[in-house]
Amino acid sequence: MKIRFFKLPALMIVIFLAASLTSCSKKGSGTGDTTTTTPTTPEGSSSTDSNIDDLMALSSGSTYSTKTSLGVHFQSLSEATSDQLTWLNDATKEPAVPKGKESTLTMLTSPVTLYPYGDPSPADCNQTALGDCSAISIFAELAYTNPSFIKSIIKDNGNSTYTVSMYSPNGTPIKVTVSNKFMSNLSNGTIVAVTGKSQIPTWSTVMEKALMKYIEVYKLVQTIEGIGSEYASPPFTGDG
C-alpha cells in the first residue's frame, strides 16, 4: 500500500521547519557531541501554525517523475539483483559503517522497544552522533501525521529481527529485514543511530537501519549521514 501525504515541495518546507528543531551538525568522532541551533521565526512570518496552503505558496519545483512513483531522484537508479534482494531480506547481513569511521563505530546488539508509548511518536526519534537529521525529521513527521502507517510497514518477527516493507526505485514492493544490532560507538557501546529516549532502540532505529541497507544496495546516496528528505521518504511511502 502506497501512501500519499502531500506534494513533496510542501513536505520539504515542513521537514525544514522540523529539522531546525534538531541538531543537524555532522559528528566526526561518534561521541554523541552535538551543536544545537536555536530556531527563529522568519521575518514577516507568524509564530502560529501555518496550514498546507500557506506552505504551498512558498514552494517551488517538483520531484514528480513519469518513470517512477518515487520521483526524479530515483528514476535513474538500478534495480537490485536477486542476490541483492536476498541480502536485503537477510537479518544477518549488516550495513557497513560510514567510510572513515570504521575504527570508531561498530554494530552492537541492543534490545528493541518498538513502541514505547503504544504508538509511534516523534519522541521516539532522537539524534545521537550521526549527521542523519533529515532522515530523523522524516520519521518524526510520519509518526506525527500517520503513526498507523509506521505500524503497517514494520513486522516484528518475534526473534529480535524486524521486516520493513519498502519500495525499490521503480516502485516495486520489497522487504528489508534487520537484526537488533545497531550502529554504536566502539569505545563505550553507546548507540550512534537514531534512538528513543535513554538510548532505547525503537521503530525509528529499525527504520533507519533498513534505510542503511537500502542505501547500500541502491546507491541513492553515499551514506545515511547527510541524506536529504527527498531521498529518505520515498523508499518507505512509495511516493516521491
Residues near 211 by beta carbon (within 8 Å), at least 6 away in sequence? 135, 224, 227, 232, 235, 236
Q: What is the pLDDT of residue 36?
A: 42
pLDDT in tens, 179-234: 999 999 999 999 999 999 999 999 999 999 999 999 999 999 999 999 999 999 99
Q: Give 3-state DSSP helix, strand, coil % of the chain, rounded to 5.
A: 30, 10, 60
Q: Does any domain span residue 72?
A: yes
What would the pLDDT profile of 146-172 be if each residue is shown by its tens digit? Answer: 999 999 999 999 999 999 999 999 999
Q: What is the pTM of this model?
A: 0.80
Q: Helix 8-19 crosses helix 133-145 at what angle (to 10 degrees)?
A: 110
Least confident of 55-64, 108-117, 211-220: 55-64
Confirm whether 156 is domain-assigned.
Answer: yes
Kindly report the number of other CB atoms within 10 A of residue 21's CB atom: 15
Three-class DSSP category at 85 = helix
**Is 121 within 8 Å of 143 (Cβ atoms)?**
yes
Are 71 and 167 in contact by the 8 Å Cβ rule? The answer is: no
- Distance CA(59)–CA(132), nearest Å, equals 23
146 vs 22: CA distance, rounded Å: 20
Residue 76 pLDDT exceeds 50: yes
DSSP 8-state class, residue 225: T
77 CB-side CA count, 13 A: 27
The whole-number average pLDDT for the span 21-35 is 43
Is residue 155 included in any domain, yes or no?
yes
Q: Is the residue at 195 inside a domain?
A: yes
For the chain, how many structural domains are there in total? 1
Residue 1 forms part of a structural domain: no
Looking at residue 2, its pLDDT comes to: 56
**Per the domain annotation, does 2 fall within a domain?**
no
Q: What is the pLDDT of residue 199?
A: 97
> Strand pairing partners for 144?
none
Q: Residue 150's domain spans which residues?
A: 8-237
Asked if the structure places residue 16 within a domain, the reply is yes
